[in-house]
Amino acid sequence: MRAVTWQGKRDVRVETVPDPGIVDPTDAIVRVTSSGICGSDLHLYEVLGAFMRPGDVLGHEPIGVVEEVGSDVSNVSPGDRVVVPFQISCGSCFMCEQRLYSQCETTQVRDQGTGAALFGYSMLYGEVPGGQAEYLRVPHADFTHIRVPPGPADDRFVYLSDVLPTAWQAVEYADVPKDGSLVVLGLGPIGDMSCRIAQHRGAASVIGVDLVRERLDRAAARGVTTIDLNEHARDLADVVRGLTHGRGPDAVIDAVGLEAHGAPMARGAQQMTGMLPDALARPLMKKAGIDRLSALHTAMELVRRGGTVSVIGVYGGAADPMPLMTMFDKQIQIRMGQANVKRWVPDILPLLVDEDPLGVDDFATHRMPLEQAPEAYAMFQQKADGMVKVLLSTS
């Protein structure tokens, strides 16, 4: 089959790799029809290469059709159309019973000290081949699937794999009070969808902050108050307070993560670490504080006293400095973590069946064939041609 493989920093290629097969009786094989490129994939493309091996198959946002199931699989059958969540979870362990599917005890990657295994996301999360491919082996397939109806285009449901539940959790964790205010830092796919979900759920004021004009315009077209950080890098807090009764928003979502702009020292540390041999870079990246924390620090500064910061952007350093005095003094509540995908699907799926209140049908700015994945990665990383979200098609 053809698949998108990681070959090095900023080097992905579409290659012919062996077709997946049933390994365990709980497996299923899915013929992928579309798969998204996630902002988290760009971390592998740019910063987290020390945890990748040449030939690793990328991708964790697929939709497709079940082709084959193992002997112990009973909840899904060949011919079913399914979205595959980005995390692999059993559905029956202690953590899954708490609906903390990203912490599944059956698939936890204990040798790396991380949570549930993820598709296409490095040795940190199990080195499971990903879904930017023609076929995908799905472990624990009885639970690791979301059955969706046939008929509508892939765009209608594919975001259940990651974008929709991740953004939904970000808003849920932000705990915006009824008629309250929310600032979203970063208007990439997750930040954009977080704005849409917050509006849908009744937030009175949603403010989006970004550096990219196309992303700002896209959010503004849906009624989001936007702030161009190019123009307000120095007075952002004053501008936000001016929009929120002088005290700051009730909640802030950090949808940026470890590669934030405006952190030159951390960026230099990331670049230097990237030049080291993998055997040296891996422990350094896991133990040192090399994340660019400008977005997270900004969130702490902006949120009102007693407000909530919801962190959905990915961070990786274990020794990142945090503004603890500010956090303590302002009594900030903080929630964060990988999205527990299937926890939120019952809330989201009814919004996708008939009408389209969240605008998923035209959420993708670009649709490209799988063979053009290298160009798609480069465009996404450079934010070229107004790219906010791209779907790769195998048909």
In the chain, the N- to C-terminal Cα span, in Å, equals 13
The whole-angstrom separation of Cα 255 and Cα 44 is: 17
pLDDT tens digits for range 68-120: 999 999 999 999 999 999 999 999 999 999 999 999 999 999 999 899 999 99
Rounded mean pLDDT of the chain? 91
The reply to whether 260 and 232 lie within a common domain is yes
Structure confidence at residue 269 (pLDDT): 46
Q: Which regions of 180-246 does DSSP assign to beta strands (E)?
A: 181-185, 205-210, 225-228
Task: Indicate if the pLDDT at residue 270 is higher than 60.
Answer: no
Strands, E assignment, the chain:
2-8, 11-16, 28-36, 56-57, 62-69, 81-83, 135-138, 146-147, 181-185, 205-210, 225-228, 251-254, 308-311, 333-336, 366-369, 390-393
Return all residues near 212 (Cβ < 8 A) that are at least 6 apart. 187, 383
361 and 332 within one domain: no
Q: Tell me the two tokens of residue 223.
A: 């009624």
- What per-residue confidence (pLDDT) applies to 346? 97
Express each pLDDT in 1-21 by its tens digit: 999 999 998 999 999 999 999
pLDDT of residue 319: 62
Separation CA 107–CA 94 (nearest Å): 12
Do 246 and 315 have their domain in common?
A: yes
Question: Please, which pLDDT band fits residue 259 given cuts at 50, 70 and 90?
Answer: low
Split at pLDDT 50, 70, 90, the class of 196 is very high
For helices 278-287 and 264-274, give the axis angle rounded to 10 degrees.
150
Q: Are 17 and 57 in contact (CB under 8 A)?
A: yes
User: What CATH number should be reported for the domain holding residue 212?
Assistant: 3.40.50.720
- CB 165 within 8 Å of CB 14: no
Residues 39 and 99 both lie in one domain: yes
Regarding whether 134 and 8 lie in a shared domain, the answer is yes
In this prediction, residue 260 carries a pLDDT of 47
How many domains are contained in the chain?
2
> pLDDT value at position 265?
41
- For the chain, how many residues are written? 395
User: pLDDT tens digit string along 33-76?
Assistant: 999 999 989 988 887 777 899 999 999 999 999 999 999 999 99
Structural domain including 384 reads 2-162+340-393
pLDDT, tens only, 158-171? 999 999 999 999 99
Q: How far is CA 115 from CA 69, 105, 265, 383, in A?
A: 26, 8, 29, 30
Together in a domain, 237 and 309: yes
209 and 240 in a single domain? The answer is yes
- pTM score, two decimals? 0.91
pLDDT at residue 292 tops 80: no
Q: In this prediction, what percent of the chain has a pLDDT beyond 70?
A: 90
CATH of the domain at 97: 3.90.180.10
Residue 193 and residue 332 share a domain: yes
Query: 166: which residues sit within 8 A by CB, 6+ positions away?
Result: 190, 193, 312, 339, 341
